[in-house]
Structure 1
Amino acid sequence: MTSVKNVLVALGVAFTAYLAARGLWWTETVPYPLAVVAALGLYLATTWICIFWEPSRNEHGGDDVMAVASLKRTQQRLPVPAQMLALASAAIVPTAISLAVGEEWRTAPFATWYLGGIGALMTIVMVRRRPWTAWTGIALLAVASMFWMGWASALALGLVGSIVWVTCAQLLVLSLDRAARDTGRLAQLQRAASAWQASQAMRQRERRVQVQEALAVAGPVLTRTVATGGRLNEEDRLEARLAEGRLRDEMRGPRLLDDEVRAELERARRRGANVTVLDEGGLEGLDENTLSIIRAQLAEALRSASSDRLYIRTSPDERVAVTVVGRSPSVGGPSEEDGVDLWREIPHPGAA
């Protein structure tokens, strides 16, 4: 399928070739025909170089939206050598044609083609993202044409049209730039909205899982509580405390838990220990095998613990994964400050 760019390139080549062909359709004998042909050759070569010369594509950054990338690919800036060649043509061709045809024929159709030809060339330069070069070329064209045929003849025979072409091209380029910026912003907003929706969906799934686990843990206790009218015996009270502890563990540190760790936490609570489990970060991105190694070491630490209070926290340190701290009343009595009788740092597997 023919792309829009290829169609525009074909139109540009055909139109500039038509303008140049007008210069070869002499209705009168000109003094220097070879100079006319040389000027036409310079014009065509410059125009087609400006159309076809693409700079080396050295794209930086990641993939934005495909529409933005496509716009950027079709908006390659004209290389500097081509700019210089275009300015040289704007300065040389009008003077060369005017001298070659002689003073008598400077306003003849076969001698004024360069007014439209240089205007078309500067329109191409403008579309190739070189506005200063384009307007400089139009200024050179205006000076040369007014010098050789007078300002009134230059304006009447095509200079105004060339200025209008370049102006319209600049407005079109500005509109495309704005469309590209708007497309980029829209793409960013769409990505942000998609990320937000995905995070909300994930949070909803996590909440559903947590609610299901809470019902599975606390459901039997709540049922007994309702059935007895809130009059629980010691065994029921213990089960209620254990259910509360399990719910806290599932909400505060789910990545630390497996069946073995849950069993050790329940054993510690049944003997009367106060256990706190907190996931404060540091385990993000770990695979299941790594987490299994950490959980096995945590279960081993809990199995040998006899402290009255246990604090289990993850660590943001790149070396330590989990810290287990146990505190118990000092020998002097419960009124004194508790002493630390357990300190265990579980390292990240593979950490030095």
Structure 2
Amino acid sequence: MISVRRIIVVLGVAFTAYLAARGLWWTAPVPQPLVVIAALSLYLVTTWLCIFWEPRRAAPMAADRPSTAPLTGGSRTALPSWAGALALACALIVPSAIAVAVGTDSRTAPFATWYLGGIGALMTIVMVRRRPWIAWSGIAALAIASMAWMGPLNALALGLVGSLVWVSATQLMLRSMDRAARDTDQLAQLQRAASAWQASQSGRQRERRIQVQRALAVAGPVLTRTVASGGSLDEEERTQARLAEGRLRDEMRGPRLLDDAVHAELERARRRGTNVTVLDEGGLDGLDEATLAIIRTQLAETLRAARSDRLYIRTSPHERVAVTVVGRSNAGPGLSDEDAVDLWREIDHPGAA
């Protein structure tokens, strides 16, 4: 299967091979051909090493996307320091070696100026492999050597400008790709958050439906009796209506605190005339049923012993306290409600220090 990486690798190899082949197309005598061949060999080995080198992975990860590695990879496929140093050494050695080997009269000939594009292509590869400082250092070395051997105007006219443009454009492209990758990651996070929110809303809707069904099961008979009698209820029916109203509020405000034992104690307290408020304000999310059962058992025991006129039962987001039970009673004339607290119980999370 043809991948983006294979296409880029083939193009890189073909282009660098073409540039190197220009160095062998001699149209004039070369005083030192062995030096030329050695410089070309150094260039090809270094360039293809930078193209084909990949890090050795201990174990493949499913999250990796190797289709564009190593030429478009991130830090995990960055060129190693030793390979970068070899590329920089090539940029320092090859231009001067070629200039010396071809002689003074041929330094501006096409077969002697190939290194302007060749080193530019090598530094472009180094830039793609996430070594920008080495790439720009190599371009600087190329500029100094080419201008020294053939003059600034000739160097700029014969290919130095193109090499500068390649490396600059590559760096800008990489920055754009990195920015696009960051934007894609942020979008993916937003999509996950939106999916989680949608799932939580669906869960809450299901929970509300369950609570409504429970509420109808509790209040339905009382409402039916009230409608049938035209609102004329005896004392026992009024008590049942008040208990149904309290149970309905409990189911709506604090369903995680309720089981049969807690329901029984809340009903017993209301029959005594106690005003009971149950509020789930967070802190019980994520607890398993066994842990909730322990908390409910302690809550039922607390309610069984309570004799307050008003009871406030609240869950707590505190890391230690699961539920707080506060009881207040009429302490007599002249005393404020702050002085009438006759019950304070904190039910800890099971296992909390």
TM superposition score normalised by structure 1: 0.84
Does the 8 Å CA contact 1:68/1:180 hold for their aligned counterparts?
Answer: no
* 2:17 pairs with 1:17: yes
Instruction: Specify the alignment match of 1:4 in structure 2.
Output: 4
Answer whether contact 2:325 2:346 (CA < 8 A) is retained. Answer: yes
- TM-aligned CA deviation for residue 156 of structure 1: 4.1
- Give the whole-Å Cα distance in 2 for the aligned partners of 1:36 and 1:96: 7
Assess if the C-alpha contact under 8 Å between 2:4 and 2:67 holds in 1. Answer: no
Matched, 1:176 2:145: no
Pairing 1:258–2:255 present: no
Gap runs ≥5 in structure 1: none
Give the direction of change, closer, same or farther, for the CA distance of 1:315–1:115 in structure 2 (3 Å limit): closer
Q: Deviations over 1:66-103 (max 9, x none)?
A: 77997897134334443333333222211111111111
Distance 1:4 1:114 in 2: 27
**What SS class does the counterpart of residue 306 from structure 2 fall into?**
coil
1:125-158 per-position Cα deviation (integer Å, ceiling 9, x unaligned): 2222334443443333233223323344434433
Structure 1 residue 116 displacement after superposition? 1.7
Alignment of 1:157-176 (within 5 A): 157-176=158-177
Q: Please tell me whether the aligned partners of residues 325 and 343 of structure 2 are also in contact (alpha carbons under 8 angstroms).
A: yes
Shift of residue 187, structure 1, vs aligned partner: 1.4
Deviations 1:43-76 (A, max 9, x none): 1232233323456889xxxx9x977997897134
Q: Which residues in structure 2 correspond to 1:6-155 (within 5 Å)? A: 6-54=6-54, 74-76=73-75, 77-155=78-156
Q: Distance in 2 between matches of 1:129 and 1:318?
A: 46
CA distance in 1, matches of 2:68, 2:289: 42
- CA–CA distance in structure 1, aligned partners of residues 179 and 249 of structure 2: 53
Greater mean alpha carbon deviation, residues 291-300 or residues 151-160: 151-160
Relative distance call for 1:180 and 1:153 in structure 2 (3 A) is same
Q: SS of 2:176's equivalent?
A: helix
CA distance in 2, matches of 1:17, 1:81: 23
Partner of 1:305: 306
Which sections of structure 2, spanning at least 5 residues, go unmatched? none
CA contact (8 A) 1:264 1:299 kept: yes
C-alpha distance in 2 between matches for 1:281 and 1:161: 64
Query: CA separation in 2, counterparts of 1:324 and 1:69?
Result: 60
**Identity over aligned pairs, percent:** 74
Secondary structure, aligned partner of 1:24: coil
Query: Secondary structure of 1:245's partner?
Result: helix
8 Å Cα contact 2:46-2:86 kept in structure 1:
yes
Equivalent residues in 2 for 1:222-241, closer than 5 Å? 222-241=223-242
**Secondary structure at 1:350's aligned position in 2?**
coil
CA distance in 1, matches of 2:165, 2:100: 27
Residues 5, 69 of structure 2: 8 Å contact kept: no
Q: Give deviations 1:204-228, integer Å, cap 9, x for gaps.
A: 2222222222222222222222223
Matching residue of 1:220: 221
Give, as a single letter, the amino acid of the residue that structure 2 aligns with 1:104: D
CA distance in 2: counterparts of 1:289 and 1:26, whole angstroms:
86
RMSD, aligned CA: 3.2
Q: 1:113 to 1:194 in 2, by over 3 A?
A: same
Question: Kindly tell me: are residues 308 and 190 of structure 1, through their superposed partners in 2, closer, same or farther at Cα, counting changes over 3 Å?
Answer: same
Distance 1:318 1:181 in 2: 35
Residue 286 of structure 1 and its aligned partner are, at CA, apart by 1.4
Deviation at 1:314, TM superposition (A): 2.8
Q: Deviations over 1:1-22 (max 9, x none)?
A: 3431233123222322332233
Deviation at 1:281, TM superposition (A): 3.1
In structure 2, the residue corresponding to 1:283 is in which secondary structure?
Answer: coil
8 A contact 1:125–1:134 mirrored in 2: yes
Q: Does 1:295 align with 2:265?
A: no
Q: 3-state DSSP class of the match of 2:323?
A: strand
- For 1:243 and 1:87, the matched residues in 2 are separated by 84
User: Aligned partners of 1:69, 1:284: CA distance in 2, in Å?
Assistant: 42
How far apart, in 1, do the equivalents of 2:34 and 2:192 lie? 61
> Does the CA-based 8 Å contact 1:5-1:74 persist in structure 2?
no
CA contact (8 A) 2:26 2:111 kept: yes
One-letter code of the match for 2:309? D
Between the aligned partners of 1:139 and 1:350, the Cα distance in structure 2 is 66
Matches of 2:65 and 2:183 in 1, distance apart? 11
Aligned-partner Cα distance in 1 for 2:322–2:175: 55
Name the CA shift for 1:34/1:128 in 2 (closer, same or farther; >3 Å).
Answer: same
TM-score by length of 2: 0.84
